[in-house]
Structure 1
Amino acid sequence: MLKYTVFVLLAVIPKSLFQRTMSYEAFFVSVLSSENAFPIDFSNLRVLGRERILNGTFDILEDIDNEHYEFYLEAYTNVARDGNYKKFPMALLRDAVCAVYEKYGFYLRDCVKYGINTDLYINTTTCLIPKGRYYLKNVTINVTNWPVIMSRGLCRHSFTFYKDNVAVGTYNITSSIEDRAVNFRK
């Protein structure tokens, strides 16, 4: 009897009941950079369609490595969607680019996958992001690894690259966090 019960629990109950489902979803609003931002040029990236999918090409203007480049990230929220952003009480401390990627890259790897929607391969053993032109195709935001509770509204991630301790480029990725739409289709 116990074997039968275990079989029913493992085989009959859908896997989705054991997974955490988020009560929200996120969509791209914009991808912007400061004037003369370096070392990445985002000017050819576009957010398209109702699904707010990110598409286009971007240029890495110089090899990015741990010796010369550091990365700093701040997050802002705008619940009222009125342009009045408030800083999140936390940020990523300025650290070497590859160290940040190793610690927090899982947020990005769920959205951007080499060979599927980009041709940029980041080799973490040599820690070099090579100079070149790369594409992003049909990139959406996957919130699976995000916190369970997120405030709704606009969220802006502002990240700055430092080269040899000098700020060389600031980039802003703004997303909209909304309640998950109820799906009545089967």
Structure 2
Amino acid sequence: MLKYIVIVLLTVIPKSLLQVTMSYEAIFVSVTSSENAQPIDISNLRLIGRQRILNGTFEILEDVDDTNYQLSVDIYSNAARDGNYKLIPLRVSRQGICTIFKKYGFYLKDCIKNGINTDLHINTTSCLFPKGRYYLKNVTLNVQNWPKIMQRGLCRHVGTFYKYDVPVGTLNVTSSIEDRAPNVFGM
């Protein structure tokens, strides 16, 4: 009987831990880039409605891979929501774009999916972001793969693109992180 209980606990507990909902949720506040930023033009992306759903088209201006483009990401926090962002001691150091995609892409894998809400397909073996115009449709932030503990407030990710070691543009994504509303009706 004890063996049966142990087997049940070893199979049920890990599954339930993986299905735990996060204590917070996140929505987009803004998505902007510097003027004439390379290698991507996001000027036709818009945030729609109260849910701040990302929609529109973006253009990759030339084929992008690790040989020609690098990216670094600085992260800022503003818990008071007063516009006074503080650089936090967590960053992604400058690396090839494909390298960063392979290391950190899982944070976005539930947000942006080829064939569902984008037509951008990334070949993970050769890792090339091909030149072209692509769409994003009904993109929201899914925090299921994010860290269990996140500071509440505004969070800004500032990505700086480099082409052959020269900065060529920035991409700013600001999100709002809030406690998840309690589910009083058990739904």
TM-score, normalised to structure 1's length? Answer: 0.91
> Structure 1 CA distance, aligned partners of 2:39 and 2:154?
26
2:40 equivalent in structure 1 = 40
Q: Which blocks of at least 5 consecutive residues in structure 1 are unaligned?
A: none
Question: What one-letter code is carried by the residue in structure 2 that aligns with 1:156?
Answer: R
2:68 equivalent in structure 1 = 68
- The 1:20/1:58 distance shift into structure 2, 3 A limit, reads same
Question: What one-letter code is carried by the residue in structure 2 that aligns with 1:140?
Answer: T
Task: Kindly indicate whether residue 178 of structure 2 is the aligned counterpart of residue 175 of structure 1.
Answer: no
Moved over 4 A (4+): 1-13, 15-18
Tell me the secondary structure at the aligned position of residue 129 of structure 1: coil
Q: How many percent identity over aligned positions?
A: 68
1:41 deviates by 0.6
> Structure 2 CA distance, aligned partners of 1:81 and 1:11?
43
TM-score, normalised to structure 2's length? Answer: 0.90
Q: Which blocks of at least 5 consecutive residues in structure 2 are unaligned?
A: none
- The 1:159/1:4 distance shift into structure 2, 3 A limit, reads same
Task: Kindly indicate whether residue 30 of structure 2 is the aligned counterpart of residue 30 of structure 1.
Answer: yes
> Structure 1 CA distance, aligned partners of 2:114 and 2:92?
25
Question: What one-letter code is carried by the residue in structure 2 that aligns with 1:179?
Answer: D
1:51 equivalent in structure 2 = 51
* 1:20-169 mapped onto 2 (5 Å cutoff): 20-169=20-169
- The 1:36/1:12 distance shift into structure 2, 3 A limit, reads closer
> Structure 2 CA distance, aligned partners of 1:4 and 1:28?
47
Question: What one-letter code is carried by the residue in structure 2 that aligns with 1:169?
Answer: G
